[in-house]
Amino acid sequence: MLRVLRGHSGSAPRGVYLHFHGGAWVLGNARLDDGWNADMVRACNVTAVCGDFHLAVDDRLEQTIEDAVAITQWVLDHLPELQAERIVIGGESSGAHLAAIALIRLAAKRSINSVAGFLSFCGAFDMQGSASLRAAGETSLVIDARSALENLKRLTQGMSDHAHRSAELSPCYADLKKMPPALFIAGALDPIVDDSRKMYERWQQFNGNAELIVAPEAPHGFERLPTCLASKAKAYAREWMKERLT
């Protein structure tokens, strides 16, 4: 099921923002992100689309990924109905993972020329657990590093090391050729900050069109907190999106 938020300006939207919500693959829904997406609609003159995908509380992560692929494919196929030609795809935390995997899988079998950008906040891209997650102590803010690592192990139980590093599961190991411009925003105190660093390095290696911002003293999900730092990060992301869709 897709949730679509449109602006009220009367003019055609600049493009579409396809957003995948976070929640460690097991929590959340499209409606909970109405506030976040409505801000993007107003500030960027876009149509925001957010999908309700399968939540992997039953450990069926592949079903969650397949839902994300299907949602992305539908939006790409129906851009004219959304009165748009260009789209920015992204998400937060596990949502950024789903957005990246969907984009990578679809790029292998169809054109993604209508995708103008990829936007990630505090993305999770290494399903084996990045170095920063494995090294994080018990004092990590917002998310508990040990619990986050156990969640990854549960969702990928029975998989080999090779499977963990496959493009089908961990986008930071994928062939990222011909990907659109990307913006990765992360917090320096986030236990999964290395996910964004690694993904940025790979994206830059393949395409030379990636940007990374690591906010100082910022925890996981800092963009949702009522702080000046969060406001600045979101404002920068909005301007970046508007440039991509112009």
CA 136, CA 102: separation in Å to the nearest integer?
29
pLDDT for the residue numbered 160: 80
pLDDT tens digits, 215-228 = 999 999 999 999 99
pLDDT for the residue numbered 165: 80
**CATH number of the domain enclosing 118:** 3.40.50.1820
pLDDT for the residue numbered 12: 86
pLDDT for the residue numbered 9: 65
Total domains, the chain: 1
CA 212, CA 201: separation in Å to the nearest integer?
9
DSSP per position, 205-227 = HHHS-EEEEEETT--TTGGGSSS
Run means of pLDDT, 10 residues per run, the chain, 246 residues: 84 94 95 94 96 94 97 97 96 98 95 97 95 84 88 88 83 94 97 97 97 97 96 97 95
pLDDT for the residue numbered 8: 77
pLDDT tens digits, 129-187 = 999 998 887 778 888 888 998 999 999 988 887 777 888 899 999 999 999 999 999 99
User: Would the pTM count as exceeding 0.85?
Assistant: yes
Tell me how long the chain is. 246
Instruction: Pull the structure tokens for residue 38.
Output: 């409505």
pLDDT for the residue numbered 10: 67
- Cα-based torsion angle of the residue sequence 74, 80, 86, 89 in order, rounded to the nearest 10 degrees: -20
Range of the domain at 113: 2-245
**Greatest CA span in the chain, whole angstroms?**
52
Q: Which residue in this structure is represented by tokens 């990045």?
A: 130
